[in-house]
Chains A and B, each alone.
Chain A
Amino acid sequence: MATRIDEEIDVIPPKGVRPPIIGPGQTLGTVADRIGGIVLTKHTPIFWLMIVALAVALFGVLNTAIAYLLGRGVGIWGVNIPVGWGFAIVNFVWWIGIGHAGTLISAILLLFKQGWRTSINRFAEAMTIFAVMQAGLFPLLHTGRPWLAAYWLFPIPLTMGVWPQFRSPLIWDVFAVSTYFTVSFLFWGIGLIPDFASLRDSAKTLFVRRIYGILAMGWRGSAKHWNRYESAYMLLAGLATPLVLSVHSVVSLDFAVAVVPGWHTTFFPPYFVAGAIFSGFAMVLMLAIPFRYLYGMQDFITLRHLQNCAKLMLATGLIVAYSYSMEMFIGWYSNDKFELGLVHNRLHGPYSHYYFVLIFCNIIAPQSLWFNKVRSTPWILFLVSTIVQTGMWLERFVIVVLSLNRDFLPSSWGMYWWTKWDIMTLVGTMGFFVLLFFLFIRFMPAISISELRTLLPQSKVKE
C-alpha cells in the first residue's frame, strides 16, 4: 500500500476542535478492503521484507545467546553476588510493563465505551501478547537451571511430590504472567474471529481462504454469533481489566516483598502499574506511528488516537513522576540509615548518571506532552515515546541494580557490569518482538475491521 503524503493528512485542527476519530469518506467496504488489503495482497512491500530480514537476524542473535546461555551457564551474563539480578529481570519487567497498554486499551477502554480504541486495540493487544512472550523468556532463562525451572515453577503434582513454594513472589509471577498471557490471547483471539471471517470472504485464492476459514471457526456473522461474540468479548474484558492492575502489581511484589532497601516499599504496586501503562502507551505509539505511515492508515489511526495516547502517557507519566519524588522524599524523611544510603547511592553512587538520565527521560521529557503541538506531531511523539521507553528500561535498571549494588553491609557492595551476552539477549528479544509483530501485520488484520466499522455512521442502529 502506497504511503499517502497528502497535505491533508495529520492536519492539526484549530484550537478547541478535536481531530476526527476516523478519516472522511470511509464505508463498511472500504474499511475491510483497506485493512484486509494489507493481508491479502500478493505484493509484500519491500520495507516489510527488509524489516523482517533484520528482525530474523536479531532473532538469530537471540537464539545464539540463549543456546550459549543454556550450554555454558548464567555466568556468561554480568550477574554476580551481590547483584544477582541484572538485565534479565530488568528486561522481564520492562516487557511485561509494555504489554499493559494493550490490555488497557482492549479491556478498560471497552468498558468505558471509548470508541476511539477500535483502531488501535487489535495491534495493541498483539503487542501485549508478543511482549509477554518476550517477558516470559526471562524468568526461565535467568535461572541457573532453566531446564528444571521450566516445570518446577508450575504447580504440577508430579515433581518429587513437592509443590512450588507459594510464599514466593516468583511463583505469584508465574500465575500472574501465565494468566495474563492466557486471557490476553483469548481476548485477542476471539476478537479476531469476525475479522478472519472477513478475510476468508475476501480471499482471492483457495489456499488463503482455507487458512482463514479454519481460523474463522465457521463464523457466519449471524445475529446469534454476534450475540455470543459480544457476551464473550465483554466477559473477557471484565476478566482482563483487573489484570491490568494486578499483573504488574504482582510483578512489583517481586521487589516489594524483599528486605532490600529500595525494594522494600509499599507503593511499588501503583508505581509499577502506572509505569507499565506509561511505557505501554509509549510502545503503542512507537508501533502505531510507523505503521500508519508505512501502510497509509492515517484515516484509521488518526491524530485523535495519537493525541489520546499522548494524554494517557502524560497522565501516567505524572503519576510516575510523583512516585519518584515520593520514593526519594520518604527515603530521606524516614531517616532510616539504609534508606538514606539508597538515596545517597542514587544521587552520588557509581550508577548515579543512569539515575539522572532516568529522571530526564521519565519526568522531564514527557512534560513536552502538555503541548498540543507535540501531541499532534507524529514524529515528535515517536521521539518522546522512544525516550520514555528508554527511561522505563532505565527505571527498572535503577530499581534492580542500584538497590542490589549497595545494600546493607558495605563489605558486600559490588558493581554490576553487563556483558555482550546481556545486550545480545535484550536486542534479540527486540528483534523477536519486531519479527512477530510484522508477521502479525502481514498475516492478520492489524486493525479490528469489525470494531472499526462500528464507528461509521452506516453502522449506527436506528432505534
Chain B
Amino acid sequence: MPNKTDSHPNLISPDEIKPASLELETVRKKLAGANGPKYWRTLQELADQPALGELLQREFPRGAGEWLDPVSRRGFLKLAGASLALAGLAGCTRQPYEQILPYVRQPEYLVPGKPIFFATAMPFGGYAHPLLVETHEYRPSKIEGNPQHGACLGGTDLFAQASVLDLYDPDRSINITYKGEPRPWGEFLGSIRARVLYHNSNQGAGLRFLSGATSSPTFGSQMRAIQQVFPQSKWYRWEPAHHDSFRAGSKMAFGAYYDSIYKFDAADVVVSLDGDFLSGSWFPGFVRYARDFMTRRKDPEKGMNRLYVAESAPTTTGAKADHKIPARNAEIEQIARALAAKVGVAGGGAGQLSAEHQKWVDAAAADLIQHKGKGIVVPGVFQSPAVVALVHAMNAALGNAGQTVTYIDPVEIDPLINTDSIRELVGEINAGKVETLIILGGNPVYDAPADLDFGGVLEKFVADQKNMVLQLSIFKNETTDFATWHVPEAHYLESWGDARSFDGAVTLIQPMIAPLYDGKSANEIIAIFTDEPSSSGYDLVRAYWRSQHTGDDFEAWWRRSLHDGYIANSAFPAKQVAAKLGAVPAAAAVDPNAIEIIFRPDPTIYDGRFVNNGWLQETPKPLSRGTWDNVAYISPKMAQQFGFFVLETDGIAKSDSEPNVNADHQSDAQNVLEITIDGRKVKVPAWPQPGHPDGAVTLFLGYGRRKTGIVGTGTGYDAYSVRPVGSQYTGSGSIQVIPEHWDIAITQGHFTMDTREPVKAASLKEFLEDKHFAHDEPELEPRENESLYPDYRDKGWYKSNAWGMAIDLNSCVGCQACSVACYAENNISVVGKYQVQRGREMMWIRIDTYYAGDPANPSVYFQPLPCMQCEDAPCEGVCPVGATVHSTEGLNDMVYNRCVGTRYCSNNCPYKVRRFNFLLFADYTTPVLKLQRNPDVTVRSRGVMEKCTYCIQRITAARINAEEQGRYRDGRIDIRDGEIKTACQQACPADAIVFGDINDPNSRVAKLKSQARNYSVLAEVNTRPRTTYLAAVNNPNPELEKA
C-alpha cells in the first residue's frame, strides 16, 4: 500500500492504471523521477499489477514466465530491475520529468500575487487578540489587527506580530513521541483510548487536566462535558503570568470575580497603581486602551487627560505619565490606602508615606475628586489583592464605576486562583491520587513555582509505570522530558477554535494553513475523552456554536462570523456590581532592610513562550534597550552603593562597570548579582534603571530556558527558578555582588539627548502660551535651497503623490509593535546576540528612548525613527553607484541590486536609519522559514544596504489596484487617503503613525503636518525630511512642580 505521506507528484497511484493499457511508456513515466526507496516502492506496486505480467510477457517473455510463480517474486524483482534498467527505465540515470502546471482547479479567490486576508484571533494568556492575517498563496505571512473589532480597532501588539514566525519555527515539535520515540497517531490514539476506557470504569478518579488560562467557549463546553462523564476528574490551571491577585482583589471587593473594562477615552484623570495598561498585552485590553487613552492626548489644544502613575518596576506606562513616582510594592499598598482614604473609602489605614509620595497622593486625590465620574483608578494586574480591592472601592466611591469603569463576567473560562490550583495538583500527585495527567500547552516544569519542584514531582510520577503524562505543546520543552506521550500542538494559525477578547466578544479562530506537522489543538486532544475521539477542531467548534445558535440560518451566521472576525453581540454586557469593601486586611509588616524582589513578565519574551522567536529576542526592551538577555533592574542609587558606576554630570545614570569609562558599547558588560529568595539562588546581570525604586530588584521571567530551540538557548537567567508559590510577583530576598561580568547586547547606549533635541517636549501650559515651541530657534529652521544642485521641487517632481508621514510623540507608548511588524512585512533578518553587540541589528524602524532629569525619577520619551525620506537626502549624493535615488513621489528608493556596499550613505545619514548586511544575515537555506517571507519584498543578500521604504510594496499595490479600477483624478491615479497603511502604521495600537499623501490637503497626514506641534528632527541639517513629528506635550498638575 502506498504510504499516505507519499506526495511525490510523479507517483501515479496504481488505481489509475487500467490493467489492459500498461505500456512501457506508462511504466517509464511511473519510474521517471522515482529514485531510492520510492523507486523500489514503485516497482513493488508494479509487481502487484496483473497488467505488468502482460507487459512483461510482451517485452520479456522469459521474465514473464518466472513472474507467474509467486515464490520467485524476489526473482522477478531482480530480473525486473535488471531488465527495466536495460530497457532504459531506470529513473536514476535520467533527469526526473517535471512539469510546471497552472492550477487546473484554482483554489477559491486565489490570484497568485494578490494576498488574501482572513480574520482570526490569537489566544494570549486567556484573552484573544482579534487579527486579520495576510496570506500569500494560502501561507500566512503577516498579522494585522482586525479594524472592525472593538477589542483592537485595527491595532496589534508585538506578540501578535511575531507569532507568525512561531508558526514557521524550524525548532517546532514535529511528531508524536512516546518516551522520546516517534509514534504514529493511530498508536497514540489507541493508547489514550485505553486510558479513557479505564477511567470510564473509575469515574475519572486519577484523571487530571492541567492547562493555561483559556477563554475558548468550545473548550469550556468540552471540559464541562468531560466532567459530566468523569465526575472525579479535575481541571487545574497554571498560567505563569496569572492574574491571581487581581482575582483575589475582585473577590475581596465584589464577592465574585469580575473583569474590569475601562473607557479611557472618557476619562480626564487616570491614576495608575502599578497598572501598566499602556505597556503590553499582559494587561487585558492593552491594544484598545492605548488607542482610547491617546485620543485624549492627540490634540492638546482641545485639552488633555492627565496620568498619574505609581509603579514599582518601571514600565512604559510610567514613561507616559505626567506624574510618576517609583515605589516599592509595599509602598504602593500604603499609597493605595492613603489615596483611598482621601477619596472617601473607609477601611484604608495608611501608614506613613514619604513626602514625595504624600504630595503625589494629595494631588492625585484632588484631581480625581474634581473629576468624579470622569476618572479612572487602575490597579496593576500583578499588584496585591488589597490594592486591587481598594481600587475597586475607590472607583465606586468616585462614581467612576459604571461610567469609565464597567465590570463584566470574567472572560476566562472558570477562572480560579492558579497558585492554589497548581499547589493542589502537586499535593495530589505526591499523595498518589493521580494516574493520568494531561498537560495542554504551557511548560509547567519550567515555569511552575520553584518551591513546588514540579519537575521533581513529575519525575517521580512517571517513574511509576502505571502513571501517564500526556503533554501537548508546540515545542519540545523542559516538560517534554517527563512526558510519556508528547503531541505537537497546532499553532493558532493552523487550527480551528474560538476565544474571547477582553470585552467578551467571541472570535472564531480559523486556520490559514493546514497543520505543518500534523499538530493537534487542545480541543482535539480533549475530544479523545469524549465519545467522538477523532473529532476535528472544525467539527468541534461548529458543533458547539450550532448548539448555541438560535435562529434559522446557521450557515450564513457561521460564514458571517468567520468573515467579520467576531460573533456579533457576543461581548459581555456590563454588570451592575457594587464594591462593598469591608476592612481591608492590614498589610503585612515589611522589613525595610530586606530587598524587595519584583517578578514581572518580560516585555518582549513574556512568560517564556516566545524565547525561541528571533524577532522578539532581537526587539530591545523598551526602557533598557537590551536584547537577547533579561536583566535585573536596580535603582541608580543602589548601583552606586554597589560601586557599579559613576553618575554622569548631566545627571543621567549610565551603566558603566568601571568609573569614567563611557558606555557607547553595543555590548555593555554588566555586573552580576546573586539573588537569594528562600534559599534559592540565581545569578543575574544588574542593570541600573532610572526610575526604579530603591531597595528593590526587578527580575524578568521567561529566559534561562534549559530546553528550547537554537534561538532561545543560552539566553538570560531563569527567574522562575527562584519564584516561590507564595510570592509570585513580590517577594523579599537578599542580594550579593558577584565578581563576574555578563555582556548584554544593547541597541542604544546613550539615553540623554545631550544638547541635541530630537524630542521636543513642553508642558500643556507652555504649549498654550507658545504653540510653536517646537520651532523656537529660527536660525535652525531649514532654509531655501542653497545647494548648487537644482531642487526637486523646482524641477516639478512632486506633482502627483507626495508621500509623507507624521508621528505623534504624545501617542507613542514605546511598545514596539511597529518594529516587529516591519520585520514581518519586509523580510528583515535577525542577526543574533554577537552581531547586536557589534552594532549590526537590522531594525528598519527603531524606537529611541531618552531620559531627562533626575536619574531617580526621570522624564522618559519614546521616538520611533523610520527612514526620514528626506527631500534633500544626504545619502543620495554620496552613493558612488547611484543605488539610492529619489523618486518623483518623494521617496528615497533603495536599489538593492545596484548597491555595492560602500556604506557612505549610512555614514552620511544623520539619523542613522540605514542598515547594512555586513554578513549574509538572511537565512537562505532553512526551507520552512521561506514560507513566512513576504513575496513582494526582496530578501537582501550580503553586502547590501537596506532601510525603511515607506512600505513601497504597499504603495505600489495600491497604485496598481487604483489603476485597475480606473480611478483617476486630474489625470493622476487617485489613491484614497487611508488606502495605503504602512506596516508600522497598521500595527500601532495607539495610532501614533500616520502615512499619506501630503499633496492632498484633506489627508490625515497633511492636517497633522499643518499643526503647530509639527517639527522635523535635526531640521538644521537641512535634510527636509518627509517624516515629521508632533512634539510631545504633557499635562502636569500645576500643584505638583514637576519639570
A residues at B contact (CB < 8 Å): 72-76, 78-85, 139, 142-146, 148-149, 152-153, 160, 162-165, 167-171, 174, 254, 257-260, 337-338, 340-341, 349-350, 404-415, 417
Contact = CB atoms under 8 A, between A and B. Distances in A.
A167 B877 contact: yes
> Among the interface residues A169, A254, A349, A412, which one has the most CB atoms of the partner chain B within 10 A?
A412
Given A80-B838, A162-B898, A165-B881, A145 B943 contact: yes
A144 to B, nearest CB: 2
Nearest to B1022: A259
A167 B848 contact: no
Contact of A165 (B750, B863, B880): B880
Contacts of B874: 258-259
B904 to A, nearest CB: 6
A71 to B, nearest CB: 10
A257 B918 CA distance: 24
Contact of A337 (B756, B846, B907, B914): B756
B918 A142 contact: no
A258 B907 contact: yes
A85 B901 CA distance: 11
Nearest to B748: A411
A83 B666 CA distance: 12
Given A82-B839, A144-B917, A152-B898, 10 more contacts: A76-B919, A80-B918, A152-B881, A160-B898, A165-B879, A168-B877, A408-B910, A408-B912, A413-B664, A413-B749
Contacts of B1018: 408-409
A83 B882 CA distance: 21
12 contacts: A75-B838, A80-B838, A81-B915, A84-B903, A144-B902, A153-B900, A170-B878, A258-B878, A404-B907, A411-B849, A413-B664, A414-B665
Nearest to A78: B838
Contacts of B945: 144
A259 B908 contact: yes
A349 B849 CA distance: 21
B907 A415 contact: no
Contacts of A82: 839, 906-907, 912
B911 A408 contact: yes
Given A258-B874, A411-B848, A164 B918 contact: no
B756 A412 contact: no
Interface string B257-278: 0000000000000000000000
Contacts of A153: 880-881, 900
A412 B914 CA distance: 11
Given A144-B942, A145-B943, A259-B908, A349 B899 contact: no
B903 A85 contact: yes
A414 B944 CA distance: 21
B754 interface: yes
B752 A410 contact: yes
A415 B749 CA distance: 9
A143 B943 contact: yes
B627 to A, nearest CB: 14
A128 B881 CA distance: 28
B664 A415 contact: yes
B590 interface: no
Nearest to B920: A73
Contact of A75 (B748, B754, B789, B918): B918
Interface in B871-892: 874, 877-882
Nearest to B841: A81
Given A81-B914, A410-B756, A411-B750, A167 B789 contact: yes
Contact of B901 (A145, A168, A169, A412): A145
Interface of B: 661-662, 664-666, 748-756, 758, 789, 835, 838-840, 846, 848-850, 863, 865, 874, 877-882, 898-904, 906-908, 910-912, 914-920, 942-945, 1017-1018, 1021
Contacts of B911: 408-409, 412
A145 B911 CA distance: 24
A283 B754 CA distance: 42
B903 A407 contact: no
Given A73-B942, A170-B878, A405 B756 contact: no
B901 A414 contact: no
Given A79-B918, A84-B906, A74 B901 contact: yes
B881 A84 contact: no
Nearest to B877: A167
Nearest to A149: B900
B943 A74 contact: yes
A70 to B, nearest CB: 10
A69 to B, nearest CB: 11
Nearest to B885: A165
A341 B755 contact: yes
Given A144-B899, A341-B754, A257 B662 contact: no
B666 A414 contact: yes
Given A81-B915, A85-B907, A258-B878, A149 B662 contact: no
Contacts of A80: 666, 838-840, 918
A291 B758 CA distance: 57
Contacts of A404: 907
B662 A349 contact: yes
Contacts of B899: 144-145
Contacts of B880: 153, 164-165, 168, 170-171, 174
A404 to B, nearest CB: 6
B218 to A, nearest CB: 47
Contact of B754 (A83, A258, A410): A410
Contacts of A169: 878, 904
Contacts of A168: 877-880, 904
Contacts of B750: 410-411, 413
Nearest to A74: B918
B881 A164 contact: yes
A413 B747 CA distance: 10
B878 A257 contact: yes
Contacts of A350: 661-662, 664
Nearest to A82: B912
Contacts of B912: 81-82, 407-409, 412
Nearest to A410: B750
Nearest to A160: B898
A415 B666 contact: yes
Given A75-B919, A144-B944, A408-B910, A84 B904 contact: yes
B900 A152 contact: yes
Contacts of A165: 877, 879-882
Contact of A81 (B664, B789, B878, B906): B906
Given A168-B904, A413-B749, A84 B878 contact: no
A103 to B, nearest CB: 25
A171 B874 CA distance: 16
Contacts of B878: 167-170, 257-258
A258 B789 CA distance: 15
A408 B1021 contact: yes
Contact of B900 (A78, A148, A254): A148
Contacts of B865: 409, 411
A409 B839 contact: no
Contacts of B917: 73, 144
A73 B881 contact: no
Contacts of A259: 874, 908, 910, 1021
Nearest to A414: B839
Contacts of A85: 903, 907
> Among the interface residues B849, B907, B916, B917, which one has the most CB atoms of the partner chain A within 10 A?
B907
A170 B749 contact: no
Given A162-B882, A170-B878, A411-B758, A260 B664 contact: no
Given A143-B902, A409-B756, A75 B840 contact: yes
Given A79-B918, A259-B908, A142 B756 contact: no
A83 B900 CA distance: 17
A207 B840 CA distance: 57
B943 A73 contact: yes
A415 B916 CA distance: 16
A200 to B, nearest CB: 44
